[in-house]
């Protein structure tokens, strides 16, 4: 099987693609070409994973009238031409786009060449690129029930997010809490705003720090690498033993297996990992994303009883502490954990791979 993959801009588009590739390569001989942008995160992560990488230059449209949009159209045309050259040379059986502007020219080029195509929408509200590509792609794979009606009915398949599969396959290592300096006999919560961190979440933790230090639970506070040094200077001089502050966690699923709950943004990848592992979650959606899609991501699980949500406008020390305290109720936390597992998609990578195989061999 030969597949061409495109996805870029944020980790939420790249990590599902890498998870899918790893799954497929474990199951059968699979040759892969990844097409991304030269400046996106994918230009680092994909080669580091040992996957052949090619780049095109493309940018997104501005929301206001701008001459830059004319340049974007010209870049799209050039990127389509370049993508066709890459695809003709590689000869893939199927092409998948996992989101981001770069998928536009790549999947469009594949469709025009008659190569079977699939796009993967991780969020409950589709992005601009996937809305455009839906008319050209053969299949549209989604991760939320709420996204199903936003695409042509005859093309939609519900597969979930491949990151969920990697999460359940993560090492079960109870000693990871001790390795981070925690007492394994007391509950641990993770508070994280993503790899780069989130300033409003960091501020709420700082404001709540003195009260959190008195609690009978422990906290791994992940500031994000960008904010770590500044946060260290703002922490109280008496830094609490029960609150351990780090810039980043390398393999979050291993840690998530051992914690009582997690607090963080409502990106699709985070939700996929947490639900697959049945971790009770408190989502604080970023209001700065397209069509407020993180709110809708979180709301889908709140309605199922699988999570709690604090909107950023309501986030402060009091609401953060109240949410954590509620998860101290073991029966409440256990019920939420069960509902999260029921809503999760641990088989997502296999389901998406099956769809690709069927398309590629049709």
Mean pLDDT of all residues belonging to the chain? 94
- Which 3-state string (H, E, C) describes 173-235? CCCHHHHCCCCCCCCEEEEECCCCCCHHHHHHHHHHHHHHCCCCCEEEEECCCCCHHHHHHHC
In degrees rounded to 5, what are phi and psi of residue 32? -130, 140
Q: Which of 241-250, 256-265, 308-317 has the lowest mean pLDDT?
A: 241-250
Residue 63 pLDDT > 70: no
Long-range contacts of 237-240 (CB under 8 A, 24+ apart): 238/213, 240/209, 240/212, 240/213
Burial class (CB in 10 A: 0-12, 13-18, 19+), 264: buried
Question: What are residue 262's DSSP bridge partners?
Answer: 190, 281
Confirm whether residue 195 is marked as ligand binding.
yes
With cut-offs at 50, 70 and 90, classify the pLDDT of residue 251.
Answer: confident
Does the global pTM surpass 0.75? yes
**Domains of the chain, residue spans:** 2-161+346-360, 168-343
Residue 67 pLDDT > 80: no
As a whole number, mean pLDDT of residues 62-86 equals 81
Residue 210 pLDDT > 60: yes
**Tokens found for residue 196:** 């780069």
Least Cα distance to 352 among 272, 278, 293 occurs for 272
Check for a shared fold between 2-161+346-360 and 168-343. yes
Confirm whether residue 40 is marked as ligand binding.
no
Helices and strands (H, E) in the chain, number of each type = 16, 13
Structure confidence by residue, pLDDT tens digits, 164-194: 999 999 999 999 999 999 998 999 999 999 7
Q: Which fold has domain 2-161+346-360?
A: Rossmann fold (3.40.50)
Confirm whether residue 122 is marked as ligand binding.
no
Could you tell me if 126 and 151 are in contact, meaning their C-beta atoms sit under 8 angstroms apart? Answer: yes
With cut-offs at 50, 70 and 90, classify the pLDDT of residue 69.
Answer: low
Confirm whether residue 294 is marked as ligand binding.
yes
Percent of the chain with pLDDT over 70: 97
Least Cα distance to 177 among 190, 194, 164, 165 occurs for 190
**Tokens found for residue 312:** 């950023």
With cut-offs at 50, 70 and 90, classify the pLDDT of residue 62.
Answer: low
CA distance 248 to 228: 9
Could you tell me if 54 and 35 are in contact, meaning their C-beta atoms sit under 8 angstroms apart? Answer: yes
**Range 168-343 has CATH code 3.40.50.2000:** yes
Percent of the chain with pLDDT over 90: 86
Residue 65 pLDDT > 60: no
Structure confidence by residue, pLDDT tens digits, 112-145: 999 999 999 999 999 999 999 999 999 999 999 9
pLDDT confidence of residue 168: 95
As a whole number, mean pLDDT of residues 307-327 equals 98
């Amino acid at each position: 099987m030969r597949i061409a993959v495109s996805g870029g801009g944020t980790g939420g588009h790249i990590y599902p693609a890498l998870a899918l590739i790893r799954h497929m390569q474990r199951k059968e001989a699979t040759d892969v070409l990844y097409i991304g942008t030269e400046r996106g995160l994918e230009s680092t992560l994909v080669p580091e994973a040992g996957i052949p990488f090619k780049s095109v230059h493309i940018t997104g449209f501005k929301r206001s009238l701008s001459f830059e949009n004319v340049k974007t159209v010209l870049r799209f045309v050039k990127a389509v031409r370049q993508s066709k050259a890459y695809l003709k040379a590689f000869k893939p059986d199927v092409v998948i786009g996992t989101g981001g502007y770069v998928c536009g020219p790549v999947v469009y080029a594949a469709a025009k060449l008659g190569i079977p195509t699939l796009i993967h929408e991780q969020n409950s509200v589709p992005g601009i690129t996937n809305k455009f590509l839906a008319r050209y792609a053969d299949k549209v794979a989604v991760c939320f029930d709420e996204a199903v009606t936003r695409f042509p009915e005859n093309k939609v398949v519900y597969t979930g997010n491949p990151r969920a599969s990697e999460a359940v396959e993560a090492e079960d290592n109870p000693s990871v809490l001790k390795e981070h300096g925690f007492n394994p006999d007391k509950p641990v919560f993770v508070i994280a705003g993503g790899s780069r961190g989130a300033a409003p979440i960091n501020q709420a933790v700082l404001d709540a720090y003195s009260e959190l230090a008195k609690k009978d639970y422990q906290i791994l506070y992940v500031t994000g690498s960008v904010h770590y040094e500044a946060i260290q200077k703002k922490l109280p001089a008496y830094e609490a033993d029960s609150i351990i502050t780090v810039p980043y966690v390398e393999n979050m699923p291993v840690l998530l297996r051992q914690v009582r709950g997690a607090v963080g943004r409502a990106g699709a990848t985070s939700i996929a990992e947490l639900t697959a592992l049945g971790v009770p979650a408190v989502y604080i959606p970023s209001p700065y994303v397209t069509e407020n899609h993180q709110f809708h991501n979180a709301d889908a699980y709140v309605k199922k009883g699988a999570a709690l949500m604090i909107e950023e406008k309501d986030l402060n020390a009091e609401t953060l502490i109240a949410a954590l305290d509620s998860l101290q109720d073991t029966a409440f936390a256990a019920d939420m954990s069960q509902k999260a597992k029921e809503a999760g998609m641990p088989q997502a990578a296999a389901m998406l791979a099956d769809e690709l195989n069927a398309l590629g061999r049709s």
